[in-house]
Amino acid sequence: MSVAQQPSRSQSGALTGSEGRLGTVAGAGAWLWGGRAACAPQQRESRWGSGFGWGRTQRPWGPSGGPTERSTRTASGGMRCSLRLWVLLASLALLFLTSLLFSLSLRGGPGLSYLESPEWESRQVKLVPNYAGSHKLVSAEGNQQKTCACNHCVGDPGVSDWFDESYEPDISPVWTRDNIQLSSDVYYWWVMLQPQFKPHSIQQVLQRLFQVIPGHSPYGSWDPARCLRCAVVGNSGNLRGTRYGSVIDGHTYIMRINLAPTVGYEEDVGSHTTHHFMYPESAKNLAANVSFVLVPFKTLDLLWITSALSTGQIRFTYAPVKQFLRVDKDKVQIFNPAFFKYIHDRWTRHHGRYPSTGMLVLFFALHVCDEVNVFGFGADNRGNWHHYWEQNRYSGEFRKTGVHDADYEAQIIERLAKAGKITVFHGK
């Protein structure tokens, strides 16, 4: 029976055609039996008129040809079978080598030439302190106490059940010496965001990095006497003409993302910056006293920041990167992959491959600030997605990538605003 024909049933009721459960056509000259490929039989007359195609008893005296014809068919079928077996064996060998290389990367295989040979590392470690714990400040009278001195505090429990169910204030957004190790599920998820062929020892990379930058978090715990106000400034074109500049500059922390130019746009976006979130391919030099927060997607990003602040050996990841970076070394911070996955699991709920950088920065602020105000997120009033410094308002690169779910993230921002956890300053 050819592939284009309808499936037929044997006397036992089993399908033998291309749609059969037991036997399916896998390609030219190949069949599948229980999910495994087998060489297809030669079509010859059988002793019985029905049954599984390859289980028929061949008639040596069949009228379809003499001994020469039968031997030719057998030789041709044998050659095709041998070729398919060699292809199958080669595929299995390639799969084995790929698995071996990936296994070596997870165990700290050989890294770049200027790193020492890695040693065996255990991945079964705690994610962060008190990851599953609840956060409630209770006074001596048993009443819930405010977590800050602002009018509306991010950390105040009991305001929104939806927020309290997902919010974990004890998870650190910064990767430090204290949480240098990652649990296996976080590690495997993170290294597959941008898989690398050449494995690196994550422990060695971080130990070398923390010789160049501080290995501690600059953020403390909640203080009822404090009101730390933060502005999270996105890059949306809806900032044009808003005159939000002075409002933005009035915050304690002002967080910006990727390129985010301010010169020439001060009236709408402000002129001050305290935190700038970037990855290697978007990195730029920063003014003094600005914290560069690296958002790493792979171990090579950690190698790059070490190199860019010291030897300048790395000039390329998957794209050209700055050989040297002029930033304040004492203010460099590394975004914690465990915090990255926490946002992906708890908040964006696996919508998109991973959260956008804007969403990462927003939740960074929600875990270090008392009050969070949001500017420059979402489309403009015409529904266009573009950057405020672009002349083409119809570019919409954020929505074109397909990596992030912009609509779902917009719903999260709206829900956070309704819960009183953030204030959104709408643009034009």
Q: Which residues are catalytic?
A: 354, 404
Report residue 367 CA to chain centroid gap.
Answer: 20
DSSP secondary-structure letter at 264? T
Location of structure tokens 């590392």: 121
Q: Comparing C-alpha atoms, which of 261, 282, 246, 295 is closest to residue 387?
A: 261
Q: Comparing C-alpha atoms, which of 340, 367, 333, 363 is closest to residue 218?
A: 333
User: If you write DSSP's letter for every residue of 48-74 in order, what string do you get?
Assistant: SSSS-GGGPPB-TT-TT--HHHHHHHH
Q: Comparing C-alpha atoms, which of 280, 251, 279, 283 is closest to residue 371?
A: 251
Q: Comparing C-alpha atoms, which of 284, 324, 318, 276 is closest to residue 301?
A: 318
Q: In this structure, are strands 371-375 and 36-39 parallel, antiparallel, or unpaired?
A: unpaired
Q: Which H/E stretch holds residue 423?
A: strand 423-425
Instruction: Tell me how far apart the alpha carbons of residues 296 and 193 are, in angstroms, rounded to a whole number.
Output: 10
Which whole-number Å values give the CA distances from 140 to 137, 149, 226, in the listed order? 10, 19, 20
Cβ contact 254:269 at 8 Å:
no
Give start and end residues of each alpha helix (H) in 218-356.
245-249, 266-269, 299-308, 337-346
Cβ contact 139:145 at 8 Å:
yes
Instruction: Locate 391 and state its tokens.
Output: 């002349």
Instruction: Tell me how far apart the alpha carbons of residues 30 and 408 are, in angstroms, rounded to a whole number.
Output: 45
Instruction: Tell me how far apart the alpha carbons of residues 264 and 275 are, in angstroms, rounded to a whole number.
Output: 19
Instruction: Tell me how far apart the alpha carbons of residues 326 and 309 are, in angstroms, rounded to a whole number.
Output: 8
φ, ψ of residue 236 to 5 degrees: the values are -65, 145
Q: Comparing C-alpha atoms, which of 323, 358, 353 is closest to residue 341?
A: 353
